[in-house]
């Protein structure tokens, strides 16, 4: 049966884990939303360019049809389409038709560029939101985890709340970057329970052996020596 002090530590740990995991999940969701919005903008850019190419082709076809009609009209009036005024009129019409087609293509490229810019903005917003959420997760872990570690350090060595940090006792392990220079993971203990956040003792012992101790054949970490709590 847990003592009142142990229950308080459990409450701190539970709140810290929930807040940190929630922030991380929020960050991942924000990045995913940014990537989705970016993909939508990229598709819009492609559609804008395809539409412009199609409309330009139709404009050229319309110009060719008009030139054929003008040629027939000049021929019916006895004028030669390949010389003099008829040639000038048809040349001007052909040039104008090509200018119109090029204007359509240019407009499509401008619209497509705007959508691509929006795609870049969406990606950046997603990354910034993810970074902000991870920063919040770090703050939650530092403050809440530090408080829990400080409280747990005052419990007797026989307390069941001296959790092991041995990777052999963990499952569903996922990396979440570094914090305070230490690699942070989410995991569950092999016997079940909620998602936890912390370090891996077999990694910490390589660069900070004083923070690692043994409990039987398994390793545990003193989080107070990792810089997650301040002395004094």
Convert the pLDDT of each residue in 49-59 to its tens digit: 999 999 999 99
- Determine, yes or no, domain membership for 158: no
- Determine, yes or no, domain membership for 137: yes
Is the same domain home to 146 and 55? yes
- Predicted confidence (pLDDT) at residue 18 exceeds the cutoff of 70: no
Q: Are 89 and 70 in contact (CB under 8 A)?
A: yes
Q: Considering the entire predicted model, what is its pTM?
A: 0.49
| Torsion, Cα of 100, 102, 103, 107 (10° steps) | 140
Strand order in the sheet with 192-198: 170-179, 182-189, 192-198
Is the same domain home to 69 and 9? yes
Which helix (H) or strand (E) element contains residue 198?
strand 192-198
Bridge partners (DSSP) of residue 170 are: 189
- Determine, yes or no, domain membership for 171: yes
How crowded is the C-beta side of 79, counted as CA atoms within 13 Å? 16
The whole-angstrom separation of Cα 188 and Cα 104 is 59
Is the same domain home to 180 and 118? no
Is the same domain home to 181 and 90? no
What sign has the CA pseudo-torsion 124, 131, 30, 32?
positive
Is the same domain home to 119 and 203? no
30: alpha, beta or left? (left if phi > 0; alpha if psi -120 to 50):
alpha
- Look at residues 152, 177, 205 and tell me which one is the last residue of a structural domain: 152
The whole-angstrom separation of Cα 218 and Cα 5 is 25
- Determine, yes or no, domain membership for 143: yes
- Determine, yes or no, domain membership for 232: no
Is the same domain home to 123 and 184? no
First vs last Cα of the chain: how many Å apart?
Answer: 31
Is the same domain home to 119 and 176? no
Is the same domain home to 202 and 144? no
Is the same domain home to 25 and 74? yes
- Predicted confidence (pLDDT) at residue 47 exceeds the cutoff of 80: yes
Radius of gyration of the chain from Cα atoms?
34
Angstrom CA distances, 132 to 20, 26, 55, 103, 188, stand at 12, 10, 44, 43, 25
- Determine, yes or no, domain membership for 54: yes
Please tell me the least confidently modeled range out of 79-93, 133-147, 184-198.
Answer: 133-147
Is the same domain home to 27 and 90? yes
Q: What is the band of 123 on the pLDDT scale with cuts at 50, 70, 90? A: confident
Residue 94 lies in domain:
4-152
Percent of the chain with pLDDT over 90: 12
- Determine, yes or no, domain membership for 231: no
Domains contained in the chain, number: 2
- Predicted confidence (pLDDT) at residue 95 exceeds the cutoff of 90: no
How many beta carbons lie within 10 A of that of residue 220, not counting itself? 17
The whole-angstrom separation of Cα 232 and Cα 230 is 6
Is the same domain home to 137 and 177? no
The reported pLDDT for the residue numbered 230 is: 45
- Determine, yes or no, domain membership for 38: yes
Is the same domain home to 91 and 171? no
User: 3-state class of 172 per DSSP?
Assistant: strand
- Look at residues 127, 152, 177 and tell me which one is the last residue of a structural domain: 152
- Look at residues 129, 152, 175 and tell me which one is the last residue of a structural domain: 152
């Amino acid at each position: 049966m847990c003592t009142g002090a142990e229950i308080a530590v459990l409450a701190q740990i539970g709140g810290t884990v929930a807040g940190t995991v929630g922030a991380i999940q929020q960050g991942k969701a924000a990045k995913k939303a940014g990537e989705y919005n970016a993909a939508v903008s990229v598709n819009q850019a492609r559609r804008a360019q395809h539409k412009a190419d199609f409309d330009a082709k139709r404009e050229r076809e319309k110009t060719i049809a008009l030139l054929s009609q003008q040629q027939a009209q000049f021929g019916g009036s006895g004028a030669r389409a390949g010389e003099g005024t008829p040639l000038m009129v048809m040349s001007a019409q052909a040039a104008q038709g090509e200018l119109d087609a090029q204007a359509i293509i240019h407009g499509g490229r401008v619209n497509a560029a705007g959508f691509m810019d929006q795609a870049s903005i969406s990606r950046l917003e997603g990354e910034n939101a993810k970074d902000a959420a991870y920063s919040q997760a770090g703050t939650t872990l530092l403050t809440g985890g530090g408080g829990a570690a400080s409280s747990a350090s005052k419990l007797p060595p026989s307390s069941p709340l001296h959790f092991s940090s041995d990777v052999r006792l963990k499952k569903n392990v996922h990396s979440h970057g570094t914090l305070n220079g230490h690699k942070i993971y989410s995991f569950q203990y092999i016997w079940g329970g909620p998602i936890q956040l912390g370090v891996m003792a077999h990694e910490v012992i390589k660069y900070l052996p004083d923070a690692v101790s043994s409990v039987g054949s398994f390793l545990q970490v003193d989080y107070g020596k990792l810089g997650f709590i301040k002395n004094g």
